[in-house]
Amino acid sequence: MASNLTIRPAVEADTATILSFIKGLADYERLSHEVMVTQESLRQSLFGPTPGAEVILAFVGDEAAGFALFFHNYSTFLGKRGVYLEDLFVKPNHRGFGVGKALLVRLATIAVERGCGRLEWAVLDWNTPAIDFYKNLGAVAMDEWTTFRVTGESLNKLAGQS
């Protein structure tokens, strides 16, 4: 692990850095065409009056090396909140030095400190390096679950039904 690695919660002044990580992740996942967020909408949603998520940033020295964006969900079976990791990204030049693991360790610590019952996330099925990395940390794939999503016009149509 990088000896000069630090992790801290993001603050409003980090909005541009967070946006650059989101764009880097989208490039990696071949989903750049889906990025609609702007720096202002990100600032508002993360640091406005009702934040929708939290971010932790990893630094190697003074350079931002990675980020994790997460929020709370809830398990009715456990009767406890959980932490849902929406995005984790480490810059290519910082991979293989423990930055990703350090971010996940910090998230696990946050979950335990907050009394959460689980930490979970999704990974694209073609991303074998990430899948192997997560399994090596003790994560278990939930292969029997299928994720569903409603967005855009379909969301508006569903909302308009009586």
Residue range(s) defining the domain that contains residue 129: 5-160
Whole-number Cα distances in Å, 68 to 51, 157, 162: 15, 32, 38
**Closest to 11 (Cα-Cα) out of 72, 52, 57:** 57
Eight-state DSSP code of residue 117: S
pLDDT at 143: 92
**Active-site positions?**
134
pLDDT tens for the chain, 162 residues long, are 667 999 999 999 999 999 999 999 999 999 999 999 999 999 999 999 999 999 999 999 999 999 999 999 999 999 999 999 999 999 999 999 999 999 999 999 999 999 999 999 999 999 999 999 999 999 999 999 999 999 999 999 999 986
pLDDT at 76: 97
Residue 119 belongs to a domain with what CATH number?
Answer: 3.40.630.30
What DSSP string runs through 125-139?
TT-HHHHHHHHHTT-
pTM score of the predicted model: 0.93
The count of domains in the chain is 1
